[in-house]
Amino acid sequence: MSPRKRFKAFKFKLSKQQSQSLQNYCEINDITPNKLIKKTIKTYTQDYTDKKVGKKYLQKQQLSLFYEREEDYEQLSFFSDN
């Protein structure tokens, strides 16, 4: 006996115009809205089961070569009296 697949339910809202547009598209292409949504997000959900995706942050000891603000730049002068 194989174990039962467990599914998560997601809920979101559409405007009246978006809902009508979705229904019309599905009727024209002979597909259900549920299948259309699943097919659309498949590329985002199939390959990231075990991966944690997020912003990459610099470690404390890692050198930062590029600064975000202009005032972070400091010009070095080798031949000045300062």
Q: What is the pLDDT along the chain (82 residues), one digit of tens a residue?
A: 678 888 889 899 999 999 999 999 999 999 999 999 999 998 888 876 666 666 565 555 556 566 555 555 565 566 655 5
Q: Residue 65: what are its φ and ψ, rounded to 5°?
A: -90, -25
pTM over 0.85: no
What pLDDT, on a 0 to 100 scale, did the predictor assign at position 20?
97
Three-state SS letters, the chain? CCCCCCCCCCCCCCCHHHHHHHHHHHHHHCCCHHHHHHHHHHHHHCCCCCCCCCCCCCCCCCCCCCCCCHHHCCCCCCCCCC
